Amino acid sequence: MQSFIPPKRTLMGPGPSDVSPRILEAMARPTIGHLDPAFQVLMDEIKELLRYVFKTENKLTFPVSAPGSAGMETCFANLVEKGDKVIVCVNGVFGNRMVENVVRCGGEAIVIQDEWGTPVSINKLEEELKANPDAKIVAFVAAETSTGVASDTKALCALAEDYNCINIVDAVTSLAGIELDVDGWGIDAIYSGSQKCLSCPPGISPVSFSERAVKIIKDRQTPVQSWFMDLNLVMGYWDDTGGRSYHHTAPVNAMYALHESLLVVKEEGLENSWKRHADLSQKLRDGFAEMGISYLVDKKHALPQLNTIIIPDHITDEAAIRTRLLNEHNLEIGAGLGALAGKVWRVGLMGHAASQENVDKCLKAFKAVMN
C-alpha cells in the first residue's frame, strides 16, 4: 500500500461540493487541544459566524461534531419524547428520514405525503393541524436534496406557530444557497451540513435552537436517548459562560475548515451568495434547455443549488452516462434517489462549485457524452 492520492474531480453532485484550496489549507494547520484557550476563541467565532449565516441571535447555535444526519438526530432526540405527536411533511427521501427519527424516539408520526418534486402543501398541513390539536411538532425539509425542490419555510413555520406547535427544519442544502432567516421566520430547531453550500469537507452539522426549543429540552420528563447528542450535556461544552466542561473531543482540524468556510461566506456577503447561486443556476438551466433537457421541478420552486434534470427518453443506460462524465471529464453528478432512481440526474451548483467555469464545463461535458 501507498499513501492515498485522490483524483482531482469537479464535484457537481448533491454534495459534497468542491472545497477551495483556502479551506483545505486551513484544515492542514497544526492540531491543538479541544480545550486549548486558543481553540475556545475559535469556538466562539464559529458560533458568531453561524448566527450570521442562519440569521439568528439564538444562543444555542453551534456545530455538531458529526454529519448532517447527526444534526437531524440531535433535533429529534432532544425535542421528541415518547408519545409526542409529530406532523412530518414528506416530499422526498429526507422527509422519510425525519419519520424514522420520530419513530425511534418513541413519538407518533403523523405523515403528510406530497408528490416528489413539488413543495410541501400548506393546505394539507393545516388540515392535519386541525385534525390533531394535540400535535407538538411540525417537521419538514426546506430544500429537499432528493428532488431539488424548495418549500415555503416561512409560511410553514408561521402555520405551525398558529397551532401552538414548534418546528424542526432540515436546511442541509439550504444554508448559504437560498434565503433562510431563522429569527425572522420563527424557526425553532434547524440543522444543516458543512459539505453543501458552505463548501467545507463533510462531517460537521451546524444547528440552532430557539429559546422555546431550549426550554422544552431542559423541561424534558425523560432523559435524551442519546448520550452524545443530549444537548443538556453538550451545552456545557459549547457554552462560553462560566468555563467549558469536557464533553467530547471535537474534530479540531475540521473546525478550522468550518471557520474558514464561514469566513468566506461572510466576506462575500450572505445575500450575494444567494444571488450568485441563483444567477449561475439560470445559466445552467438555459444551457440544458438548448440541449432539450428539462427539469423535474417547476422553476418557481426549484433550488438553484441543486438542479434535478429529467433523463431524456433515448438514454437507455443512465449510469453509463454518469460513468463517462466521471472518467472522461472528471465531473461528478448525482443519480436519482428512491422513486426517482433511473429517472433523473441531480446537478449541484453549491458554494465554491457555483462558478461560471463549472457551468461551462458541465454543459460542455454533457454535450460530449450525450452525443
Which three-class secondary structure state does DSSP give residue 42?
helix
Backbone angles phi, psi at 188, to 5 degrees: -95, -40
CATH number at residue 281: 3.90.1150.10
Backbone angles phi, psi at 223, to 5 degrees: -65, 150
| Separation between Cα atoms, residue 367 and residue 35, nearest integer Å | 52
Q: List the alpha helices (DSSP H) in 55-184.
A: 68-79, 93-104, 122-131, 153-162
Could you tell me if residue 4 is inside a domain? no
Could you tell me if residue 320 is inside a domain? yes
193/76 same-domain check: yes
Q: What is the sign, positive or negative, of the torsion defined by CA atoms of 188, 194, 197, 198?
A: positive
> Of 233, 266, 299, which closes a domain?
266
149/177 same-domain check: yes
Could you tell me if residue 2 is inside a domain? no
Could you tell me if residue 290 is inside a domain? yes
| Paired residues of 348 in beta bridges | 306
| Separation between Cα atoms, residue 302 and residue 298, nearest integer Å | 6
36/132 same-domain check: yes
How many domains is the chain partitioned into structurally?
Answer: 2
251/192 same-domain check: yes
Cell of 243: 468555563
230/274 same-domain check: no
Q: What is the sign, positive or negative, of the torsion defined by CA atoms of 4, 10, 13, 18?
A: positive
Report which of 51, 11, 50 is spatially closest to residue 333, judged by C-alpha positions: 11
H/E stretch holding 262 reads helix 252-268
207/344 same-domain check: no
- The answer to whether the pTM exceeds 0.95 is yes
Question: Which pairs with CB-CB distance under 8 Å and at least 24 residues apart come from 28-32?
Answer: 28/253, 29/253, 29/256, 31/252, 31/253, 32/252
169/297 same-domain check: no
CATH number at residue 203: 3.40.640.10
**pLDDT tens series, the chain, 371 aa:** 999 999 999 999 999 999 999 999 999 999 999 989 999 999 999 999 999 999 999 999 999 999 999 999 999 999 999 999 999 999 999 999 999 999 999 999 999 999 999 999 999 999 999 999 999 999 999 999 999 999 999 999 999 999 999 999 999 999 999 999 999 999 999 999 999 999 999 999 999 999 999 999 999 999 999 999 999 998 888 876 656 788 899 999 999 999 999 999 999 999 999 999 999 999 999 999 999 999 999 999 999 999 999 999 999 999 999 999 999 999 999 999 999 999 999 999 999 999 999 999 999 999 999 97
Domain range enclosing 163? 21-266
192/228 same-domain check: yes
